[in-house]
Amino acid sequence: MTKKALRLIKGYTYTLYGFVLRSEFPCPELAVSKGKPDVVLRYGKVSEVPADPLEEDHPTEDLSPFVLHVPGVAKYLVRDGCEVIVEPSVDSLESDIRLWLFGSTFSALLNQRGMLALHASGIETKAGAILFAGPSGIGKSTLVTAFIQRGYRMLTDDVSGIATDESATPVVMPGIPRVKLWEDAMDRLGIETGSYRRLRPGVTKYDLPMRRDIARWPLPLCRVYVIRVRDDEASEIERLTKLAGFETMLEHTHRKHFLNTVRGRDTQFRVAAAILRSVEVCNIWRSPLGIRLDELVDRLEGDFQSLSGLTTGNTHFDTAPTPGLYNG
Domains of the chain, first to last: 11-112 (no CATH), 116-307 (3.40.50.300)
**Sheet of 31-32, strand order:** 31-32, 12-16, 19-23, 39-43, 83-88, 74-79, 66-70
Q: What is the pLDDT of residue 100?
A: 94
Residue 55 has pLDDT above 50, yes or no: no
Sign of torsion, CA 301 307 312 317? Answer: negative
Q: Which residues of 242-258 are buried (b: 16+ CB within 10 A; e: fewer)?
A: eeebbebbeebbbbbeb
Residue 234 has pLDDT above 80, yes or no: no
Residue 71 DSSP label: T
Residue 214 DSSP label: B
Q: How many helices (H) and strands (E) does the chain have?
A: 8, 18
CA atoms within 13 A on the CB side of 225: 29
Distance CA 302, CA 165 (A): 29
* pLDDT tens by residue, 129-142: 999 999 988 889 99
Residue 327 has pLDDT above 60, yes or no: no
Instruction: Determine contact, residues 77/65, Cβ cutoff 8 Å.
Output: yes
Instruction: Determine contact, residues 156/250, Cβ cutoff 8 Å.
Output: no
Q: What are phi and psi of 9, to 5 degrees?
A: -65, 130
Q: Which residues of 158-197 are buried (b: 16+ CB within 10 A; e: fewer)?
A: bbbbbbbeeeebbbbbbbbbbbbbbeebbebeebeeeebe
Q: What is the pLDDT of residue 57?
A: 42
Q: What is the mean pLDDT of residues 203-213?
A: 89
Sign of torsion, CA 63 64 65 70? Answer: positive
pLDDT category at 93 given cuts 50, 70, 90 is: very high
pTM: 0.85
Residue 242 has pLDDT above 80, yes or no: yes
232: number of Cβ within 10 Å:
11
Residues 6+ apart with CB under 8 A from 306: none
pLDDT category at 213 given cuts 50, 70, 90 is: confident
Residue 313 has pLDDT above 60, yes or no: no
Q: What percentage of residues in the chain have a pLDDT greater than 90? A: 60
Residue 246 has pLDDT above 50, yes or no: yes
Residue 50 has pLDDT above 60, yes or no: no
For the chain, the average pLDDT equals: 84
* pLDDT tens by residue, 13-40: 999 999 999 999 999 999 999 999 999 9
